[in-house]
Structure 1
Amino acid sequence: MSTATIDEILFTAGSVDIQAAGQTHPEVSILAYSGGLMTVPGWGPVVIDLRGIDIPAAQVGILADHDSSLKGIVGHGRASVHDGRLIVAGAISPSSETARQIIELAKGGFRFQASVGVTPTDYERVPPGQSIEANGRSIKSPASGFLFVKFSTLREASIVAIGADASTSVAIAASQKESQMPEETTTPTAEQIREQAASETERITAIRRVCGGRYVDIEATAIRDGWDVQQAELAALRESRPKPPIIHARDHAPTNATIEAAILSHMGCEGLAEEQLGPQAMQQARDLRCTNLVDLCHYSLQADGRDTPQGREAMIQAALTTYSLPVALGNAANKVLFESYSETPATWRAFAAIKSAKDFKDHTGVRPSDTGDLSEVAKGGELKHGSIDESTYTYSVDTFGKMLSIDRRDIINDDLSMFDDTARSLGRAAMRSLSDLVYKVLLANAGSFFAGGNGNYDEGVETALDAAALAIGLARMMAQRDDENRDLDIRARTLLVPSELQQTAKELLQSDFIQRANDDTPTGNALKNAVSLEVEPRLSNAQRFAGTSAKAWYLFGSRQDAALIVAFLQGKQSPTVEFFGFDADPNRLAATWRVYFDYGCALGDFRAAYKAKGEA
């Protein structure tokens, strides 16, 4: 699986069927997504709601290894959702060398895997332990939580050689050699291919249910070798029987994943290691029985196929020059940093639209206003042309970064606490710096974004936060219209207040009754749960930000209304940790990493926001 971004998630599919025998354009059927929880590198667990996926009506491009250039296009097909699964069925056009190579490999029995590109448009994080209903099943959030993509757009489907999930199964009907196929055999239809893919998926799901994540080797073998459920049950039963204690000899050098899991475990993050690297890697890490960092130096040298020097000092110095130890430490830091980053509050996520910037240049966004109504179609089916009056805004991204390192003294002292604390601190700092930028932009009010002339700003004593003022704000947003006075149907979704107004806001939105002085007025709270509440201390932090107020409050529409834009370079919404090398400081014996983050912020559509000055 390719490294994913929030703007274009690439994930492994269940199966690919290629009908290659005797056809000019061989048929292909791709089980693109089975509807469950998947792990996306850099983002962790992800679930995509197929009810909210926008599928192109015409066709979906079928690529090789996500290569969107002309040489990477190998065919096209149509996508559809069946029983909580995403399927792409189409044909391969053998007009390129890549397409012909795929067909020949399929004839020869190679089992392909698949991956698709999806652009999320609305998503949220599901807290640990919480369950949601999606794709016809109940999905419980793991210890790290997961990203739930509510709405998205299908971009493309790709045929790949190796996916990230080693246990995914690929059933290719063309793997039988042509000489073994009777001449009178009829080429299966696309519907038959889809049925084969669905049957294979059901077999894999049943095997995984039997193994239950406890018998990883049995599960992988059963899927790879085409076992039925009864064979898998029998093997799992045998494996579950008690065994006499034996002495295990290590026949193979530990893998990088095993070393990484051991490092995370040593940092007190065993749950994170098992979630991100899998139970097998975690068990292998336990089997190493590392009691200190020097043990990890020994196994890092083994993983690189290097002899272990005599003496503690020599072994540590040699380990710091390996590939395995610095990379495993960097990957562990990346996971800890991302966990800390994800858990840091970010109130702007409730109302800001997420954009992807392909480079560091200025990018242009559009605020469209439809002009003209839908007209009745006359006989003959001729449609009349409409027009779009557009206004624009610009946004760009910049780079923010820090350095992270661990030296031989930390290893000798068996101390990863500073490394762990630094990674967590950088994760929190990354989100904090991003939130700082968002609220600097909001409070700066560039171009009189909040103004009476825009219909999104009020001031005066009557704007102090209370039931009447909030009702006025809600009405202001509903009254927003385009240049031809057509209603835009924008509704306030979020009330944003400084810390000083938190109590008042909760009373307004959560109370069952509002006490009135006059007995003949209603006492029910008409504003209860009218909008969600976000409390942001930066709005009143005059020491750090300009334009602050302890009395002003805001309303925002949904994220799709794009009142505020937060952009990330190539859509990557988290910091990147990279091994920088030992030449960062030649005078210091240390492994060094760089942590950097590319993001930007801009004001978007003023009609989707409202500000009250809140004078008392």
Structure 2
Amino acid sequence: MGGMMILASATADNGDVARVTGEAYTGAKVVPGNIGWPMVFNSAGMKRPKSVPLLSGHRNLPEFKLGDVASQHIDGSIFVDGQIDAPTDAAKAIRVQGKNGKWQLSVGITALKIEEVKAGESRKVNGAVHEGPFDLVSKSILNEVTVIPVGADAGSSLKVHACHIAASAGGRSMRFKQWLEAKGIDASEKTAEELTVLQAQYDAEIKASAPVLAPRVENKIEARSEQPDIAAAAALVVKAERERVAGIRAVCAGEYPEIEAAAMASETTVDDVRASVLKAMRAGRPSGINTANTSADRGNLIEAAFSSAMGVPNLEARFDEKTLKAARKQFGTSFGIQAALLETARLNGYNGHEYRITAGNLSEVLHYAFPTRIEAGFSTLNIGTVLSNTANMRLLTAFNGVEKSWERICTKSNVTDLKTVTGVRLTGALKFLQVGSDGMIKHGTLADESYTNRARTYARMLSITREDIINDSVKALTDAPARLGRGAAIALKELFWTEFLSTAVGGDGFQFFSTDHNNYVTGANNVMGVDGLSATFLKFRQQVDPDGQKLGISPAILLFPPELEVTALQLKNSTEIRDTTASTKYPTFNPWSGKFEPVVSSDLSDST
């Protein structure tokens, strides 16, 4: 993230050269105006160049450069020391207007590493314990310091005081620096506070007409009516910086992260970035024609990162290794709802550079994330597709996790609509008969049996709420699809077993499982065991078709409830059976060992 501002106070006085010293950042928690979220910057982790430019209103132009300042890290705070020495109108205006009240500084910082500290958590930073929620910027770069009227760090302060030539009583001219050198004092070895004391001694010793240093005013912002509208100018500069950042992101499109990072950390213009990207494209252009869709590729990365964060299994079956590696490199492993929405919105033209969705930008982000129209020449990505694809993978995993023993004992067929469908099965006397000496083939007879089926629609719906998005609740998209998938599987399972176990009477006046259909065993053999299984096996072998002919089908599946699972497995796996109740001779061979495929269903023991 770039273009972040941390503001500090400043006072000013007239003079040809104005020296600035003070505390730019106290190490406290601040709420930058262009972010709207509390942040703490680790002062020790801030990379500070030897000197940084001092600008007016963040305008990076020669006519608005005021001078240069150096920074120093002391006990968690950042102190600055430098001077306003440019012969520009902006520098002169600030020196002149400084006598009317306090100025402030805006420090431009590029955040390199950000950690979210949630509510209820705390971190010790800059020598103090800070309670969440806030964002901890552990690594950053100090880019520039700007004179501006509004501050975010109420504890910061800065002094601007005159350092111009003063005349002595003997008519001799001596600059402050020359005065220090005459006394054998090296200014570079002195702190800002020590130099302030020496400046006061110099003024008293010379007894010239140099103005008295303005007293330091702590934690107070004063505004005078005669000051120019610096706030309005600063707002324009902030707007321009936001447009620059958005332009850089649009040009790089996530394909050139090194160019994008370098541009964010510097003052590179969008045109310069565009030139760098074109150069990189030419260097990496293959000999053939590349027709890859950048937006589609970017969308694939977003979907892969989001699927990984949601814990979708078997991602390798959906995404190739190159895509998964690129997604992890670019987005990491904590890619939540907010990140997916923001990245998709930016891909579709959203210019906001926030990294968090709030109540303030939610509507605009959703507008770009769910585009309603497609403009010629532009590829768009609908976040609904990403969320749907990812949620469907979670849904399918949960759907397949529910018991599906019913699928082993039935067949499934398709229908073209939701109307009642009549199925017909032909029957009749079609057994081949011997052809007589006259060569005549006898006619068979056909009849039919009919049955009806009808498909019906079953559904449930869950939605992602506004709170889920603002709270970045990935759980809303991990648990909800899984529960929907399980619910769909349970509905199918219950429909089948309700019909299978129904005691309703059929068209012939009998229940499906009944002695009239010769498919129901009663009496002592109606118990799972060798004898009961033998009786049931015999019943199956005796089954006939509607024409009275034996089916001639061998049973292959043994279906049972959980209460009989141990007995069923013993019958399937035991190679012998012994009778210890009598001292008589008996065979030990188990005729049913390995004979059937065991299929268990908990619905067979459901009393409801």
TM-score range, shorter chain: 0.3 to 0.5
Q: Identify, as 1 or 2, the structure richer in strand.
A: 1
TM-score by length of 1: 0.44
Structure 1 or 2, whichever has the larger Rg, is: 2
Normalised to the residue count of structure 2, the TM-score between the two structures is 0.44
Q: Which has the higher contact order (CA 8 A, sep 6+)?
A: 1
